[in-house]
Structure 1
């Protein structure tokens, strides 16, 4: 038995209960969780903006220690410290062979086929979210989703790499491939947005403009190195302010980390001729975006989508840990509060209010 926070229905509090955990398949491992970040994506599922059928154990930003391995696993062993990745990849499909494992459809198909039912309570199967389910003290994951890490980074910080950090920094490094001297704007200064700011600065951006309606978040963005801030009151404010800050040009890259149609439009209007808007936030299903089509052809503007920072986790996780070790990537500053699993619903309410950056669940049985 293990303790887990289960979503039994949309728009209802999670229930912290004891659940059974099945044995790992040959290509899976059991992980005893040390820490799990709480992401807005989890809240979006609860609010039915990203419908994922209940019952399910949410959570997709975790780190822990391998407890046992399936019969076919060779690269991991009990005792290994791991960061968990929401990216499931098979290693055989066209996307994996093209070095874009973040696009592999294996995870979606596995959920459809019922392979994600790893928990059980009172005779009812319970799924793990995106192959993980980190809102549980122990979980079963595919070995390909467990990235071994070194002993020199605390697990309560390392867990953030699995979503907020790789999604933000990866969008800069892998999707945009921002070059030194280029300019950037970041729309939305939550957990992902702050990592977009960090990534742009590490990449050598000459200007990083933070955009948010919440002055408290802009203060945090400034602490993380934003060179200027914009607090818009309508859809035209931000593009106009960004143009003024860039000599009338606009930015090379505008990163949208909110997941709202209006903000995507603002990001598109904020880039210069030939600039690119990068959509990182996830809008709800059925949301459409209206853009002035003439600007694609007449000004060479474009839009890029970024999924999990276009990550190749085996490559990117060690790189991010190295940046943290060098003092160039701030993980500790992302953590607003450390909580027990029993406090998860209060932390979800805080997330919904936009209160703080990241709440991290600490599972006490594993040393961080």
Structure 2
């Protein structure tokens, strides 16, 4: 099959800037879909690979939080057609393995098989294979994935906001709804008010949590956290333990860590009420360890858990999330704090250091403000 020339931001050496260059994308094979990219969010997961704190084989096209239009479909594709608007997930599911049928599609046992293909997906001008993060590689004008990795999204959601549904929103809201089953009786603590943390705050508000406590280093983020649903905010430089004790004297019933550090994960667990659940969402450097008090875990009946990608149920959740957005209960637009072109993607990653930054989005439609 002929290959399609596209411009992509390629990571060649961890710690070095991405390089916008021409690569060659294979046409979709059986069960695959080619999507023309509209917008892609810059996630901290991408940053971990970019700066080398998480290992990845290079050269590689990063990016996974993405929305676009179906351009071509391979044989056997039945759910999607050219012109459909879709968001992608890093956790396609087969729908038939023991994890999928028991309600845990993000732990699909066949995800590796779903990403396998006979020919390299992307090559450079010399024919050398270029990898794609999570089998997507969204920092490119187009990408090819399995149909199972794509969910339909309606045209009434702006692309700059819609791309967030693929990662930070489905992770943060998913962790609240599915991973921790937050209810109106819960007091919720969210440590870290980036994209995933803000989504968790909104998810807790949607679920009707009685108190939602946001913790972050930056007052600018805490101000937005209040707008998105936090009832209480705490600067991380303050006495977090003392402040939480005032708000919830017996501890919080649900805590979410969205920073990606062992110390904040341990803090989240330590602030739980008996029977409480701490859900760790932040990716951490390889080899990281989390230490918890054994008696608090065992005698206090507390739980420490992960929720990879929020334990979301992607194909169903996108409809749920867009409904909440449509009715004003889920604010996506306020979370987009910067927009860049593909050529300026490195500036977008630099902007992550800005205290007011929540999500920077790469706009592939040529509509980036001057």
**TM-score surpassing 0.5?**
yes
Is the Cα–Cα contact under 8 Å of residues 114 and 146 in structure 2 kept in the other structure?
A: no
Q: Does 1:42 align with 2:43?
A: no
CA distance in 1, matches of 2:52, 2:196: 21
Partner of residue 239, structure 1: 241
Q: CA deviation at 1:354?
A: 5.0
Partner of residue 198, structure 1: 202
Q: Provide the secondary structure at the position in 1 that maps to 2:315.
A: helix
**TM-score when scaled to structure 2?**
0.94
Partner of residue 261, structure 2: 260
CA distance in 1, matches of 2:194, 2:102: 32
CA distance in 2, matches of 1:275, 1:239: 16
Q: Does 1:334 align with 2:335?
A: yes
Partner of residue 180, structure 1: 184
User: Can you give the 5+ residue segments of structure 1 that lack an aligned partner in the other structure?
Assistant: none
CA distance in 2, matches of 1:220, 1:167: 19
Partner of residue 88, structure 2: 84
Q: Provide the secondary structure at the position in 1 that maps to 2:229.
A: coil
CA distance in 2, matches of 1:171, 1:289: 19
The correspondence of residues 7-156 of structure 1 with structure 2, limited to 5 A, is: 7-108=11-112, 117-121=120-124, 122-156=126-160
Q: CA deviation at 1:93?
A: 2.0
CA distance in 2, matches of 1:282, 1:272: 25
Partner of residue 219, structure 2: 215
Q: CA deviation at 1:105?
A: 3.7
Aligned length: 362
Q: CA deviation at 1:110?
A: 6.0
Bigger Cα displacement from structure 2, 249-258 vs 356-365: 356-365
Check 1:258–1:116 CA distance in 2 against 1; reply closer, same or farther (3 A cut): farther
Q: CA deviation at 1:240?
A: 2.6
CA distance in 2, matches of 1:26, 1:365: 31
Is the Cα–Cα contact under 8 Å of residues 37 and 360 in structure 1 kept in the other structure?
A: yes
Is the Cα–Cα contact under 8 Å of residues 107 and 131 in structure 1 kept in the other structure?
A: no
CA distance in 2, matches of 1:115, 1:42: 26
Is the Cα–Cα contact under 8 Å of residues 160 and 336 in structure 2 kept in the other structure?
A: no
Check 1:288–1:36 CA distance in 2 against 1; reply closer, same or farther (3 A cut): same
Is the Cα–Cα contact under 8 Å of residues 169 and 196 in structure 2 kept in the other structure?
A: yes
Check 1:110–1:353 CA distance in 2 against 1; reply closer, same or farther (3 A cut): farther
CA distance in 2, matches of 1:91, 1:127: 26
Q: Provide the secondary structure at the position in 1 that maps to 2:200.
A: helix
CA RMSD of aligned residues (A): 1.7
Q: Provide the secondary structure at the position in 2 that maps to 1:272.
A: strand
Q: Provide the secondary structure at the position in 1 that maps to 2:148.
A: helix
Q: CA deviation at 1:155?
A: 2.1
Is the Cα–Cα contact under 8 Å of residues 239 and 250 in structure 1 kept in the other structure?
A: no
Q: CA deviation at 1:365?
A: 6.8
Q: Provide the secondary structure at the position in 1 that maps to 2:121.
A: strand
Is the Cα–Cα contact under 8 Å of residues 221 and 356 in structure 2 kept in the other structure?
A: no
Is the Cα–Cα contact under 8 Å of residues 220 and 355 in structure 2 kept in the other structure?
A: no
Partner of residue 350, structure 2: 349
CA distance in 2, matches of 1:81, 1:90: 21
Bigger Cα displacement from structure 2, 327-336 vs 348-357: 348-357
Check 1:220–1:365 CA distance in 2 against 1; reply closer, same or farther (3 A cut): closer
Q: Does 1:319 align with 2:323?
A: no
